[in-house]
Structure 1
Amino acid sequence: MDISQFSERINQTLSTLQYGQTPDELYAPIRYMMELGGKRVRPLLTLLGAYLFHDDVEKAVMPAIGVEVFHNFTLMHDDIMDNAPLRRGQETVHEKWNTSTAILSGDVMLVRAYEFFLGIEPQKLPVALKLFSTCAAQVCEGQQLDMNFEARQDVQIDEYLNMIRLKTAVLLGFSLELGALLNNAAPEDARHLKEFGINMGIAFQLRDDLLDVYGDQAKFGKRVGGDIVSDKKTYLLLNALERANATQQKELRKWQGLGQNGQEKQKVEAVKAIYDELDIQGTTHSQINHYFQKALHHLNEVNALNSKKELLRQLAIQLIERDS
């Protein structure tokens, strides 16, 4: 087996899903969102987590789809909160329809996500739903912290790393833990897989922060420099503020709150210039590698065939080195 076969199984299943028909204004945005594509990392992790402990992963397919639908629900609502114009290079749902429709369609996606878990074996279902509910709440906690940071000027790097652990990384950890649970992994193996996913998720988000500033617009799928324009407290900005000299600090603070009235390009260039002076790109690469190595440590501790674990290692490398 290779990763492409698992991806094909996920995409095949997604192509057959029915979320509902009437009213079309409610369900068309869901179909649109799910058809935008994406890497399908989370359902892939669920299948790979199951595959570590048994060759047959069929029982994990629909729960994996539930994870993906939940993830896209969070993206739909995040885009509203961030007032984001693009998602995967296309109009966001709230831009294409309207905010109220995007909220309601997202709510239905959350409901459907739970439904996709209902085929889990009865003795495992309560555990799976409890783990999922805990994870889902943590994702919301992370999003709230992210919004809280918008109004604060004293956010610390450790706080930021905890926020992305909740908002992004715990769902990757849960995806693997779910697959392990469904194919009867030992609790300690499931724990190591979860930690592998969480550390990989933090590295993944740090890579996303980096691409937002240094990525190729055509490949990235979102507006490059968007985090700078919107004053997002990313690892890059917080690291720059911590290490900047007085002149650089003054320049960074000057741009806070500006750049929304035709100054976007100027602001991105000014902030990026300071990042370059401080080698923020290199520092971020080092932090990404730190979490990548922590992830590999936990993967090495999992009691499974090395040939199967190699698939997860390959996927982790793809995610950390991606340019989109």
Structure 2
Amino acid sequence: MNSFEETLQRIDNEIAHLKFDRQPGSLYDPIKYILSLGGKRIRPALALLAGNIYNNNIDHVVLPALGLEVFHNFTLLHDDLMDEADKRRNKPTVHKVWNANAAILSGDAMLIQAYQLICSTKSEHLKEILDLFSITALEICEGQQLDMEFESRLDVNEAEYLEMIKLKTAVLIACCLKTGAILGGAPKEDAENLYVCGINIGLAFQLKDDYLDVFGDPQTFGKNIGGDILCNKKTFLLINALKLADQEQKEQLLYWLNQDTFDPAEKISAVKKIFTELQLDKLSETKMKAYYTKALQHIQALYVSPKKTKILEDLFDQLMYRQS
């Protein structure tokens, strides 16, 4: 099997050779920009690694995997616009470099290009892969809609939040693993186990992302710390803070949630202090660990040698303990 580092190198090389030479060039410049920012490339890597478990030759998995990465970056481009985010991977977001219209239209073009890449799938698997990708894309839109609706609600519960991040984040990770497995020739049971594994590691991944948004190091996180706090995002941390806070803490939280104008640094500091007092960092870590453990159980259920799954297990370990 190829190592994770070799897999990432191949993905970076393939992305660098993607052609965006149609006209007008101004439509494609934002696409080139966001893809040039790098990122973890976890999703296409998962597709290639899953395929490599069952097949030494994964050339036919590369273009669909790139399609999944292009699609992921399309969602980031639109998410940043909806969230009014200033930075992505320590660089200005597309709507800041260009404008909102460019972010919308170039994002739409990225979605079409993602489908074009995924349609390179061999004919015997094309319908299955397209069906999987299409329902995944729809679920991500559903998750984003829930996320936006939660912004105006104070009664979001933990189960609703977990369903939202499952749709918004975890289903794409699951789709990548299952896509690679199908194209690699995995048995149906293994492909399904990898999908469920992806759901669980995706939930852990998003919980970690929300955790880092509050408790991470801004020098390594790649985004401004406290963005979720400033936007009143109903994260695992805030939902549990509202649930567990005493009267004084809850009054402080509601004060900051209801302020239209405020000093950003002061709000972040005040809300983070309450999260820390309630030990929500530890509660979040416990929840992440539970999903991480479930993901490993589904890997261990695969009908392959443990040697072939070690790279995936090591990668999940990196995701769990990452700082960015």
| Pairwise CA distance, 1:309 | 0.4
TM-score scaled by length of structure 2: 0.98
Cα-to-partner distance string for 1:282-318 (whole Å, 9 max, x where unaligned): 0000000010001111111011121120100011011
Which residues in structure 2 correspond to 1:191-206 (within 5 Å)?
191-206=192-207
Counterpart amino acid of residue 321 in structure 1? Y
Matching residue of 1:126: 127
The letter of the residue matching 1:112 is Q
1:52 shift after superposition: 1.1
2: CA distance between counterparts of 1:183 and 1:12?
21
Unaligned runs of 5+ in 2: none
1:170-226 Cα distance to aligned partner (Å, 9 max, x none):
000000000011011111100100111110000000000010001111111111011
- In structure 1, the residue matched to 2:99 is 98
* Corresponding residue for residue 48 of structure 2: 47
CA contact (8 A) 1:229 1:260 kept: no
Report the Cα offset of residue 257 of structure 1.
Answer: 3.4
Return the offset for 1:56: 1.2
What's the CA shift for 1:260? Answer: 4.2
CA distance in 2, matches of 1:19, 1:70: 15
User: Residue in 2 aligned with 1:303?
Assistant: 303
Q: CA deviation at 1:82?
A: 0.4
| Structure 1 SS opposite 2:281 | helix
Amino acid at match of 1:4: E
Q: Say which is worse superposed, 250-259 or 38-47, in terms of deviation.
A: 250-259
Q: How does 1:216-235 map to 2 (within 5 A)?
A: 216-235=217-236
Kindly report structure 1 stretches of 4+ aligned residues shifted beyond 4 Å.
Answer: none
| CA contact 2:119–2:130 (8 Å) conserved in 1 | no
Most deviating of 250-259 and 96-105 = 250-259
Counterpart of 1:289 in structure 2 is 289
Give the Cα–Cα distance (whole angstroms) in 2 for the partners of residues 174 and 104 of structure 1: 25
Give the Cα–Cα distance (whole angstroms) in 1 for the partners of residues 24 and 299 of structure 2: 46
Q: Decide whether the 8 Å contact of 2:95 with 2:103 is kept in 1.
A: yes
- Equivalent position SS for 1:84: coil
Return closer, same or farther for 1:247/1:31 CA change in 2, 3 Å cut-off. same
Q: CA deviation at 1:19?
A: 2.4
C-alpha distance in 2, partners of 1:258/1:305? 56
Task: Tell me the equivalent position of 1:181.
Answer: 182
- 1:239–1:280 CA contact under 8 A, matched in 2: yes
Q: Distance in 1 between matches of 2:171 and 2:3?
A: 25
Aligned partner of 2:141 in structure 1 is 140
The offset of 1:256, in angstroms, is 0.5
What's the TM-score once normalised by structure 1's chain length? 0.98
2-side partners of 1:131 and 1:265: how far apart? 42
Residue 51 of structure 1 and its aligned partner are, at CA, apart by 0.8
Written as runs of structure 1 = structure 2, the 5 A alignment for 1:254-293 is 254-258=255-259, 260-261=261-262, 263-293=263-293
CA distance in 1, matches of 2:21, 2:113: 10
Aligned to 1:85: 86
Distance 2:21 2:209 in 1: 33
**Separation in 2, partners of 1:210, 1:147:** 19
Deviation at 1:258, TM superposition (A): 2.4
Residues paired across the two proteins, number: 323
SS of the counterpart of 1:123? helix
CA RMSD, aligned part only?
A: 0.9
> Distance in 2 between the 1:119 and 1:246 partners?
58
- In 1, Cα distance between equivalents of 2:138 and 2:237: 27
Q: Distance in 2 between matches of 1:117 and 1:77?
A: 20
49 and 260 in structure 1: CA distance in 2 versus 1, 3 angstrom threshold: farther
